[in-house]
Amino acid sequence: MLLVVDVGNTNITLGVFDEEKLISTFRLTTKISRTSDEFGLLITDLIKSKNIKVEDIEDVIISSVVPDIMHSFQSGVIKYLHKQPIVVGPGIKTGIKVLTANPREVGADRIVDAVAGYYIYGGPIIVIDYGTATTYDYITKDGEFTSGVTAPGIRISARALWEDAAKLPAIEIKKPEKILGRDTITSMQSGLLYGHIGETEYIIDKIIEETGVENMKVVATGGLGKIISESTDKIDIYDPNLTLQGLRLVYNKEKMKK
């Protein structure tokens, strides 16, 4: 079995694969400082809670955009799972070409999403990840990651509203039935959700316009991506496990290299 780990700015998402089948997923909060022992115990306890034997985990692969926790996290994996994890980064075989101005600046999560989008759904493709930031990445029909767009995520935008405007309350992030809110809460929800729907549609249209590619597939992932994808016909597929699948694919390509 393979343990895949996506360390994001808000959450750490883990998945266990038995060959190509994703049999279980787990989620931890990123922004809590933990020791290697705490990470190791949490991971092994989560695995055991799903009736999976820790000794059945044959390998571990990690993508991370949070370097501050990586020493403790990797040490916890080594200490409690007795595996040296593969970390997605320079030198790892992914099967796509990163042709941005500075490839080393592209986050591991975006590369992994691009791999999954391209190899599962084909190119040309736009991969959208509704995470802490909302990212839009373009991969050509030949598997070239050439460019992308980075925007504030929905939760970042929401937090800015209620933290920087004294009279605006913290709210549940959900899509109201109508765009015209009749009170403060629904008006904020409208601005956040319909604003992001509009952003999504506009950016997709501009990417298609600038690339000149008409038959573009659009795939979305990320926690709040489901709400957006259900509200626009610009998104073809919502795949909540796209990043985990991408990690599995990168792992397979890296092992084939050896």
Whole-angstrom Cα Rg for the chain: 19
Spatial CA neighbour of 109 closest among 67, 46, 49 = 67
As to burial, measured by CB atoms within 10 angstroms (0-12 exposed, 13-18 middle, 19+ buried), residue 138 is: buried
Spatial CA neighbour of 37 closest among 61, 73, 8 = 73
Give dist(CA 1, CA 57) in Å, integer. Answer: 5
Spatial CA neighbour of 151 closest among 111, 202, 115 = 202
Residue ranges of E strands in the chain: 2-7, 11-18, 21-29, 59-64, 86-87, 97-98, 125-130, 133-139, 144-152, 217-221, 237-238
Give dist(CA 235, CA 128) in Å, integer. Answer: 9
Query: Measured in whole angstroms, how far is the alpha carbon of residue 41 from the centre of its chain?
Result: 24
Instruction: Say if residue 240 is preceded by a cis peptide, omega within 30 of 0.
Output: no
Active-site residues, by number, are: 109
Long-range contact pairs involving 20-24 (C-beta distance under 8 Å, separation at least 24)? 20/248, 22/241, 22/244, 22/245, 22/248, 23/50, 23/52, 24/50, 24/52
